[in-house]
Amino acid sequence: MIELLAPVGSKEAFYAAIHNHADAVYLGGKQFGARAYANNFSNDEIKTMISEAHLFDVKVYVTVNTIIYDDEIEELIEFLDFLYLNGCDAIIVQDLGVANIVRHRYPEFDLHASTQMNIHSIEQVKLLKDLGFKRVVLARELSIEEISDIKKAVDIEVEVFVHGALCVSCSGNCYFSSLVGKRSGNRGRCAQPCRLLYSQNNDSGYLLSPKDLNSLERVNLLIEAGIDSLKIEGRMKRPEYVAQIVQSYRGAINSYFDHTPFDFEKNQKELEKIFNRGFTKGFLFHEDNDNFINKEYSNHIGIEVGRVVFSNNDYVLIKLNDQVQKGDSLRIVGREIDAITINQMYVGKRLVEKAVSGTTIRLRAHKGNLDKGIVFLTTSNEQINNLQTSYLTKMRKIKLSGRVFLENEYLSLVVSDGKNFVQVKSPKPVEPAKNFPSNDRILDQINKTANTDFEFTNLKLDIDKPIFISVKEINELRRQALVKFAAVKSKWHYQRKIQSFVFEASPARKPTPRMKVKVRNQEQLQAVLNYPVTDIYVTDKDLLNYQSQFPEIKFAYVTGRIMKEEFSQDLLPTKIVSSTLRKFRGANTSIYLNIANIYAINLLERLQANSVGLSLEMSFNQIKNLVDEYQKSFISSPNLEMMVYGRYELMIMKYQLDRSRGDKLKDRKGFEFPIIVDNDGYLRILNSKKIHLYEYLREIYCLGISVILDFTIETYQEVIDVCDIYFYHIEKQLEDVTYGHFKEGVL
C-alpha cells in the first residue's frame, strides 16, 4: 500500500491528518526546519505527537532540512539525540553535514533526502543509497517517467510531492529571498518574493507565481510508477486544508486498491474551495509552459459562484451560479475588489441563510464599482464545519478486542489489537453478588470508549458466577488497560543506542589560495587571457578547446545545476566543477552546493572532492569559524573557494519566461534582474547587483581560501575593469555592487 504523507504545522493539523487516515506526517521543531514561520513544535509536543501517531500506526518524520553552521552543531546534536531516543521514525535532511553526523552517531535512524537536495538523476540516488539514505524526496521538476526509471534502477524509497504549492525555482537552488531580504529559504525563512508582482517590458503580473499542483485524478499513475510515498505540501496551511487534501487523496488511493467508485468531480470542487491558486499538473505530468503560472492571482482564489448584476456603495446584487450560505466568505472582482463575509443575505425582501444557483441575492457591500464583477467563494462555512467535525470528534478509532475474566478472584481485563496486548486486574478481589448480579453491567461499562481513541470490536466476558464490582472500579479497570495499552503500542524504537563518533584526521595540507576566473563566452575569455590567470572555469564546453593553446592555465568545465546524466570519462577527473551531488573523483564543488559546515566538507572529501565551494549565504565570521573548526577537528586545512565578484544566481527554473519580452525582470521597486539560459535549457535569474569583495581579499587569502571572479553578462570592457581591480589593484569604481551576506550573514 502506498504511503500518504501529510503536512503538520499545528496541533489541529496533526489531528486533521491522523483522523482523516494519513499514513505518515511530517513536522518541524523550533529550529532546523525549512518552515520557520509555521507553528513549529517544542520537544515535549513532538514527543507527545510521536506517541499519539504511533497509536494509529502513523509514522512521524521530522524536518531537519536547513543548512547548518558550525556554531549550531552542538544544539543540532542535542535535538537529534532527543528525536532518536523518543521514537522519531525518520528525519528529512538537506545538509550533507547533518547526514554525515547522523550516519556516524545514530545507526538506526532513517534518513530521508529533502527535495532541497535537488536530486534528479539515477546516479545521485544511487549515491544517496550508498551514503545510508533510506528515502529520497525527488526534485519537483522530474516527470512521472523519470521517477519511474529511478525507482526501477535503484532499490530505495521514493517520495514525490503530489499536491500543494510549487516553487518556481528548482528546490534548494533559490536565493531570491536571501539576497533581496536576507531571509534565506535554505534556512527556512523564505519571504516568497516569487509571489510578488514583476514586469518584463510590457508584460506584468505575478510572473513567477506558480499555480498549485494537483494530482488527484492521476493517483493511479503515481501508484503504478512504483512511488512509495505521496507527499502533500502545506505546513503553513490551516488544519481544514490538511483534512480536505488527506480526505480526498485517501479516497482516491482506496478506490484504486479496492476497485470502488470515487467521485473525482466532487472532490476536485472541494479541493478548489479549500485552497487553490488555479491548479496545474506540473512538470510531474508534462504541464504546458503556459499553464504553469497564474499571472492574475498569487493567493487563494476559491471557486466562481456568481456575477454582479448591480452595485452601489451600500449593497450589491449577485446572480448565483452555485449555492452560498450564511458564514461564507466571498471575493468580488470588478473595477474594484471587495471581500465580504455573508452575515445578512436577502432574496428580494426575505432574509435567508442559504441561496441556491439561479437566485439573485443582495448583500451589504463596502464599495461600489463592482458591476459585472466575478464573485468567488473563498471560504465555505459548510465545508469548514464538516472538516472540523472530521478531526475534532476523533473519527479514527483504534480497533481492540478484549476479554474479561476472573483470576484468583480478581477481575482481569486483557486488551489486544492483534499485535500488542496488555493485562490489568482490579486492585482488590471481587465480591459475590448479594442482591443482584452485576455481570451484565461489566461489558457495558468497559465498552464506553466514546471519549477515547479506542473502540472494542470484540469484547468477551468469561465469568461463570455472579459477582459484584462497582461502576467506579470497572471504569478504572478500563482506564488503566487503555493507558497501559497506549504506552505499549506507541513505543516503537525503544532499544536505540547513540554511538560516539570521531572523524579521522585529513591528510596534512596547507592550500595555496589562488584567483580563479569563470566565463560564459569567448569575448569574456579573451579579456581574462590578458591577465596572469592560473585557473579558468567555463560554462561552455567549446571553450575547453583553448586548453591546448594555454597549457599553463588549468581549464575546468562548470556543470549545470540540473544534470540528468553523468559526464563521460574524457572530462574527468580534473576538469569538472560540479554544482550537484555526485561521486566527484577529484572534481571541485561549486558555491551552489550549499556547503556551510565542516562535516559537509568532510563528506565531500570522502567522495573525492578536490576543492569545496562555500555557500554564498555565509558571513566572513562564519567562514573564519569554519576554517578554525576544521583545523581543530581534522588537524589540517580545508581546500576551499568562494566567489568575490559577480552576480549570484537567484533562481534556476525549468519554467520558461518569454524572453522575447526582454532579458530582464523588474520588481515593484524598480530593480532589474537579468535573465540568462544555460546550456541545458534551464532559465536563470541573476541578482540585480554584483557581489564585490575586493577590499576583503587579503583577509580571505589569509584563511587559505581561493577566490572566484564570476562573469555572466559582462562585456569585454567590463571584464577588463574588474580584472584590473583584482589582478593589478587599479582603483576603479564599479556600479550596482553589494557585499551580499559577507558582513552580516542571513536571518
Per DSSP, what are the bridge partners of residue 694? none
Cell numbers at residue 151, please? 525507482
pLDDT digits (tens, 9 = 90+) for 684-734: 999 999 999 999 999 999 999 999 999 999 999 999 999 999 999 999 999
Cell numbers at residue 277, please? 491558486
Amino acid 569: pLDDT = 43
Which long-range contacts does 667-674 make (Cβ < 8 Å, 24+ apart)? 667/180, 667/193, 667/196, 667/197, 667/198, 668/196, 668/197, 668/198, 671/180, 674/647, 674/712, 674/713
Amino acid 438: pLDDT = 63
Amino acid 37: pLDDT = 63
Q: What is the mean pLDDT of each run of 10 residues along the chain (747 residues)?
A: 96 96 96 70 96 96 96 96 97 97 96 96 96 97 96 98 96 92 90 95 94 98 98 96 98 98 97 97 96 94 96 93 97 92 95 97 90 95 96 87 92 94 92 70 89 92 86 92 94 90 79 96 98 96 92 92 64 73 91 96 94 97 97 93 98 92 93 91 95 98 98 98 98 96 90
% of the chain surpassing 70 pLDDT: 97
Secondary structure (DSSP) of 228-293: SEEEE--TTS-HHHHHHHHHHHHHHHHHHHHT----HHHHHHHHHHH--S-EE-TGGGT--GGGSB
Give me the chain's average pLDDT, please: 93
Cell numbers at residue 216, please? 488527484
Amino acid 13: pLDDT = 97
Cis peptide bond N-terminal to 429, omega within 30: no
Amino acid 568: pLDDT = 52
pLDDT digits (tens, 9 = 90+) for 368-414: 889 899 999 999 999 999 999 999 887 789 999 999 999 999 999 99
Amino acid 102: pLDDT = 97
599's CB contacts (< 8 A; 6+ apart) are: 73, 96, 97, 98, 100, 101, 503
Q: What are phi and psi of 215, to 5 degrees?
A: -115, 15
Amino acid 585: pLDDT = 87
Helix (H, G, I), strand (E, B) or coil at 295: coil
Check: pTM over 0.75? Answer yes or no. yes
Q: Under a CB-based contact definition with an 8 Å cutoff, are residues 217 and 262 in contact?
A: no
